[in-house]
Structure 1
Amino acid sequence: MTTGGTVAGVLLAAGDSDRFGERDKLLATLDGEPLVRHAARTLAGADIGPVAAVVDPGSSGVRDALAGLDIAVVENYEAAAGQATSVRRGVAWARERADAVVFALGDMPRVHAETVDRVVGAYRDGRESALAAGYEERRGNPVLFDARHFDALAALEGDTGGRGVFEAADDAAVVETGDTGVRVDVDTPGDLDGLR
């Protein structure tokens, strides 16, 4: 396992908003900014290497919401087929640039950049090859995967993320962060109201 190399960040921001209603939830505002911008700023502000956002090319609003941030945009033309397609796109982008990747979710606006740093720090200390941010011993997001898991992530299909890969890793662990945001995502308008 390489622990001294580059860790890239990938923001998964191409999902649908079925439970949110007609609006794209990633563009719903919190504290005056779109949810996706909050999540993107977390990765951009962390002490990691290059960062990319995987977006649905049909959602120009998400791309616009990321303007001005030091984040590459990776289009996922298969976004409608499920989250696995975005994970695959993210891995393909990261594979050429990093020894590990941190995946964050565009609908989790309350994660702190320091939380990403804590997970990455645990990885660089030579601990596990799959690490998830946790709060009160419960697994949350973001999640870091060493390059040894890239092939498994690239093989995912359907509307699933990296959970199965994480659970299959023989050295996966949860890093306690003290950050309640790692367990807070926005699926419905009520979820958003609860953050205001």
Structure 2
Amino acid sequence: MRTGAIVLAAGASRRFGSPKQLAELDGRPLLAHVLDAVTAVPALDPVILVLGAHHEPIRERVDPGRAQVALCLGWEEGMAASLRAGLAAATAEHDLDAVLVVLGDTPRLETDVVREVLAAAHAAPPAVPVRALYDGRPGHPVILPRQLFAAVGELTGDEGARELLDGAPVVLVAAGGPGGLDVDTPESLEALR
């Protein structure tokens, strides 16, 4: 099963008050932690980093490694535009069976969880999405099979993968640790510290 990855980091960080992708945790930008976790899995190819708001300072401070940068010009629309841009970039030159989606503001995401979710997707029926489950709460990463690619194109506004998964059969992978926690405010970052 050929699987690419999309790291969503195009948002304006309005609730955070500054580009949260660049906020530091353990001396490194939040986004760098997420990229490390995803790019450490060679089976994910390509890895697409979707940027939008604040793309210039992010590019100056965050090395994408082997990830390819896709600029989402319509980032103000919300997460749907970012997801569409990431999927378009991932499938432009690659015939993918699925994409793994993560948020760029989940700095405690662990490479082992990425691998476990990917392994579960390989074992799942072809059209069934897979997602991590943290303390009973669904989180990221999420794997969207090819059968949902067209539905991604129909998302609008701040709709993301959650809207595609509601009510659908989904394989859930129990994950430990704080990896599913995203950083939306300075207080949530402080809680991770």
Q: TM-score, normalised by structure 1?
A: 0.90
The equivalent residue for 1:44 is: 39
Q: Provide the C-alpha distance between the structure 1 equivalents of 2:157 and 2:20, rounded to a whole number of angstroms.
A: 21
The equivalent residue for 2:133 is: 134
The equivalent residue for 1:195 is: 192
Paired residues in the alignment total: 189
The letter for the 2-side match of 1:41 is: D
Q: Secondary structure at the match of 1:180?
A: coil
The equivalent residue for 1:180 is: 178
Give the CA deviation at 1:68.
5.4
The letter for the 2-side match of 1:106 is: G
Counterpart contact for 2:11–2:53, Cα < 8 Å:
no
Counterpart contact for 1:95–1:150, Cα < 8 Å:
no
Q: Secondary structure at the match of 2:15?
A: helix
Q: Secondary structure at the match of 2:182?
A: coil
Q: Provide the C-alpha distance between the structure 1 equivalents of 2:90 and 2:68, rounded to a whole number of angstroms.
A: 11
User: Over aligned residues, Cα RMSD in angstroms?
Assistant: 1.5
Percent identity (aligned) = 34
20 and 123 in structure 1: CA distance in 2 versus 1, 3 angstrom threshold: same
Q: TM-score, normalised by structure 2?
A: 0.92
Mean alpha-carbon deviation: is it higher for 90-99 or for 150-159? 90-99
Give the CA deviation at 1:136.
2.5
Question: Which residue of the other structure, out of 9, 15, 26, is the alignment partner of 1:19?
Answer: 15
68 and 19 in structure 1: CA distance in 2 versus 1, 3 angstrom threshold: closer
Counterpart contact for 1:134–1:175, Cα < 8 Å:
yes
Give the CA deviation at 1:57.
6.3
Give the CA deviation at 1:178.
2.1
Are 1:34 and 2:33 matched, yes or no? no
Provide, for residues 18-63 of structure 1, a one-character-per-residue CA deviation record: whole Å limited to 9, x for no partner. 1111x11111111111111111111101242220100016521222
Provide, for residues 73-120 of structure 1, a one-character-per-residue CA deviation record: whole Å limited to 9, x for no partner. 000000011110001011112234221001100111001011011011
Mark the runs of 5 or more structure 2 residues left unpaired by the alignment: none
Counterpart contact for 2:10–2:51, Cα < 8 Å:
yes
- What is the 5 A alignment of 1:70-81? 70-81=66-77
Question: Which residue of the other structure, out of 46, 49, 55, is the alignment partner of 1:59?
Answer: 55
Counterpart contact for 2:29–2:62, Cα < 8 Å:
no
Counterpart contact for 2:39–2:66, Cα < 8 Å:
yes
Provide, for residues 112-138 of structure 1, a one-character-per-residue CA deviation record: whole Å limited to 9, x for no partner. 011011011011013462111112332
Give the CA deviation at 1:167.
1.4
Q: Provide the C-alpha distance between the structure 2 equivalents of 1:141 and 1:68, rounded to a whole number of angstroms.
A: 19
Q: Provide the C-alpha distance between the structure 1 equivalents of 2:24 and 2:157, rounded to a whole number of angstroms.
A: 29
82 and 117 in structure 1: CA distance in 2 versus 1, 3 angstrom threshold: same
The equivalent residue for 2:115 is: 117
